[in-house]
Structures are given as C-alpha cells and as structure tokens.
C-alpha cells in the first residue's frame, strides 16, 4: 500500500519547507522595527584580492543576492558554479600572471537553501540600535546572518559556512553606490545590465567614489566554521525608512491597490458560489427540486437575458430621444 509512504514523503517535505527560514526583503521585522531591503535585491559582487604569492594573484569573488537564489551562468561548467538555491557564493580565482591564465580553485556555497542536503538558510536578524553589545548599540541598522553553506557541500565532512551582513544606516546612500555585478550571461538569456540601469534610476551616482557594499573578512571563527563578514551602508537600514516610498521606485503602490481589488473579486466570487451551492443543496433536500429549480432565484436568473435586452432597448430609446414630439411618434 503506497499511501503511508506518500504521507511520510509529504511530511518530510512539509517539515523541510517549514524549517527553512528565508529572508523576506520586503519586510524584515526585528524587535517591532521594519526594514524594506527590496532595493538591495539582485546580484552584487565584492572581492578579496590577495597577491602575496606572486606571480599568482588570488581573487576570492563573492556574489550576493539577499532576496532570491543566484541564477546559473550560461557557458560556465557546473563544477565552477555554486549549486541551485545559493544566495551567497564564493569563488576563489587564481590568476597565474606569467601564464596569463585564471582558474577557479574553489567554489564555496556560503549561504542558501539546499533541501536535498538537509541544509537551510535559517536567517538570523538582529537590530543594532539598543543592542546589548556596546559596539552595536552605537549603530543604527540590522545585522542579517545567513546559514546553509558547507564546503564541500557533498558528504558529511566539510567546513560549515555562514555570512554576516551589517546593514548600517546612512541617509545619504541608496546602497547601490559603487555597485558591481556579475555581467556574465545567465541561462535565462538576461545579463544584469537592464537590472543595473533600473536600479541606478533609484538615485545613485553613476560613477561613485566609494562603495556602499564592502568586504570585511572571510576567516574561520570557532570550531569548523568559516564566516564571511560584509558591511552595507544604505538609507534603507535607517529605522522608519520602510514607511517612506522611494522617489521613482515605489513598487508597492500599484501592487497594494491591485491586491485589494483582486481580493475583493475573490471574496465576492466565493460568497456568490457559497450562496448558490448552499441554496441548491437546500432546495434539493427540502423540496426535491431538479434542474433549474435547484438554483436559488432560478426564474430571475433565467430572465436575466430578457431583462438586459429590454434594458438595452430602453437605453437606446432614451439616447436617441423623441425629438420635440414629447415621446409621440408621427402618424
């Protein structure tokens, strides 16, 4: 009998989905404080360059999308990309200057959801203002820690990974200053050029001097745990900013009106359907009705075409008018 096995599988899937705490960029809620980080969505790139071993230059490139998983890049072998479900991916490129050759030495999934491996983001959110830590209490913003990564991801062994991003309040920054993105073509055929141009319309400088997103460190902290630390300065980390619509970028405005109208139609449809179903059931059980007699007010519903036709004639007659004859026709 297959039913118990199917129920067991569905229960595992439900448990995996319920335990995967992901980041809702639209409304990051911490200590009754709301942060809207949607503008910071999309792919961003930061580098950690080490040239201590010349003639080899080591460039650890971190690609980040806090709102959704990274897209696969076309024409790049799968072993040189992080697995599906990754939000933060680190690739350690080694460039041999004498050979003019660059190779991917390590591909590290740092944070993301990997249900097939039983690993999830398990996002942690910490409000910096009023924190118990003296260092944090002087800051304003939110710290987001994303888990799920391990290198290598396969097997039971490996180094645990996580990313800690401090979003710091800076009223003069959008968070996109000095924005660097992965411009390689993705499997869906789109590069990041359109997305980059769209986000620059939000008000950032076209060629800024400093970057809002900065690499801080990537090192082992604790037993078998490697932590990527980033700092992101943006006005969207200022408390109370989420209630203020951005100029030229108010995606929630139209959606909220459309959402209300959609829910109104859905509720109206469900109410009418429930009335018809309950009325039909009542007529069947109480009066033994059949066919059109089952439907409440069936006679009225059947007369609707004729009522509409008569109403149309009256409207046409009113629009055409009777001239100066007072409604009488010429003999």
Q: How is residue 46 written in tokens?
A: 């930061």
- pLDDT computed for residue 40 by the predictor: 96
SS3 (DSSP) at 211: coil
173 in any annotated domain: yes
Mean pLDDT on 33-54:
90
User: What is the distance between the alpha carbons of residues 210 and 232, in angstroms, rounded to a whole number?
Assistant: 12
2 in any annotated domain: no
Q: Which of 63-77, 128-142, 203-217 ranks highest by mean pLDDT?
A: 63-77
139 in any annotated domain: yes
| Whether residue 91 is found in the same domain as residue 212 | yes
| Whether residue 208 is found in the same domain as residue 290 | no
User: What is the distance between the alpha carbons of residues 313 and 310, in angstroms, rounded to a whole number?
Assistant: 5
307 in any annotated domain: yes
Mean pLDDT on 120-146:
88
Mean pLDDT on 117-141:
87
11 in any annotated domain: no
Length of the chain: 331
User: What is the distance between the alpha carbons of residues 237 and 24, in angstroms, rounded to a whole number?
Assistant: 15
**Domain end point (choices 243, 276, 311):** 243
| Whether residue 195 is found in the same domain as residue 63 | yes
Q: How is residue 158 written in tokens?
A: 């490996």
Cβ count within 10 A of residue 146: 27
Of the pLDDT bands very low, low, confident and very high (cuts 50, 70, 90), residue 132 is confident
Cβ count within 10 A of residue 74: 11
Residue 136 belongs to domain with CATH number: 2.70.130.10
- pLDDT computed for residue 240 by the predictor: 84
User: What is the distance between the alpha carbons of residues 206 and 190, in angstroms, rounded to a whole number?
Assistant: 22
Burial 40-52 (b: 16+ CB within 10 A, else e): bbbbbebebeeee
| Whether residue 33 is found in the same domain as residue 133 | yes
Where in the sequence is the domain holding 195, given as residue range(s)?
A: 19-243
329 in any annotated domain: no
In the 8-state DSSP scheme, what is residue 79?
Answer: G
Of the pLDDT bands very low, low, confident and very high (cuts 50, 70, 90), residue 322 is low
Mean pLDDT on 232-247:
79
- Of 84 and 286, which is predicted with more confidence? 84
- pLDDT computed for residue 244 by the predictor: 58
141 phi-psi bin (left φ>0, alpha ψ -120 to 50, beta other):
left
Q: pLDDT tens across 7-39, in order? A: 344 444 444 444 456 799 999 999 999 999 999
313 in any annotated domain: yes
- Residue 190: what are its φ and ψ, rounded to 5°? -105, 140
| Whether residue 198 is found in the same domain as residue 298 | no
Task: Quote the mean pLDDT of the chain.
Answer: 80
Q: Does residue 216 carry a pLDDT above 80?
A: yes
Whether the model pTM is above 0.85: no
118 phi-psi bin (left φ>0, alpha ψ -120 to 50, beta other):
left
**Domain end point (choices 218, 243, 268):** 243
Of the pLDDT bands very low, low, confident and very high (cuts 50, 70, 90), residue 323 is low
Distance of CA 150 to the CA centre of its chain: 23
251 in any annotated domain: no
Of the pLDDT bands very low, low, confident and very high (cuts 50, 70, 90), residue 190 is low
Of the pLDDT bands very low, low, confident and very high (cuts 50, 70, 90), residue 246 is low
| Whether residue 33 is found in the same domain as residue 128 | yes
Number of domains into which the chain is organized: 2
In the 8-state DSSP scheme, what is residue 227?
Answer: E
């Amino acid at each position: 009998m297959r039913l118990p096995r199917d129920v067991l599988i569905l229960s595992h899937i439900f448990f995996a989905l319920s335990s995967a705490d992901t980041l809702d960029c639209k409304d990051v809620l911490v200590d009754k404080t709301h942060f809207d980080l949607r503008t910071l969505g999309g792919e961003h790139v930061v580098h950690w360059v080490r040239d201590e071993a010349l003639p080899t230059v080591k460039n650890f490139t971190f690609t980040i999308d806090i709102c959704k998983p990274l897209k696969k890049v076309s024409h790049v072998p799968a072993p040189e990309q992080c697995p599906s479900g990754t939000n933060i991916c680190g690739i350690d490129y080694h460039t041999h200057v004498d050979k003019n050759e660059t190779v991917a030495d390590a591909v590290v999934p740092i944070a993301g959801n990997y249900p097939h491996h039983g690993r999830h983001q398990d996002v942690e959110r910490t409000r910096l203002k009023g924190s118990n830590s003296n260092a944090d209490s002087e800051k304003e913003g939110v710290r987001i820690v994303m888990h799920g990564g391990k290198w290598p991801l396969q097997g039971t062994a490996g180094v645990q990974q996580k990313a800690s991003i401090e979003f710091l309040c800076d009223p003069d920054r959008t968070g996109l200053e000095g924005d660097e993105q992965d411009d390689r073509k993705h499997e869906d055929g789109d590069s990041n050029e359109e997305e980059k141009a769209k986000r620059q319309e939000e008000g950032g400088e076209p060629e800024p001097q400093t970057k809002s997103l900065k690499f801080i460190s990537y090192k082992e902290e604790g037993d078998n745990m490697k932590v990527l630390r980033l700092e992101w300065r943006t006005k969207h980390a200022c408390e109370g900013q989420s209630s203020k619509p951005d100029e030229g970028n108010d995606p929630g405005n139209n959606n909220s009106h459309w959402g209300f109208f959609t829910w109104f139609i859905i509720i109206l449809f469900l109410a009418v359907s429930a009335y018809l179903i309950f009325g039909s059931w009542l007529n069947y059980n109480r009066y033994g009705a059949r066919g059109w007699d089952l439907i409440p007010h069936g006679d009225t519903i059947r007369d609707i075409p004729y009522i509409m036709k008569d109403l149309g004639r009256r409207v046409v007659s009113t629009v055409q008018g009777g001239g100066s004859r007072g409604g009488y026709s010429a003999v």
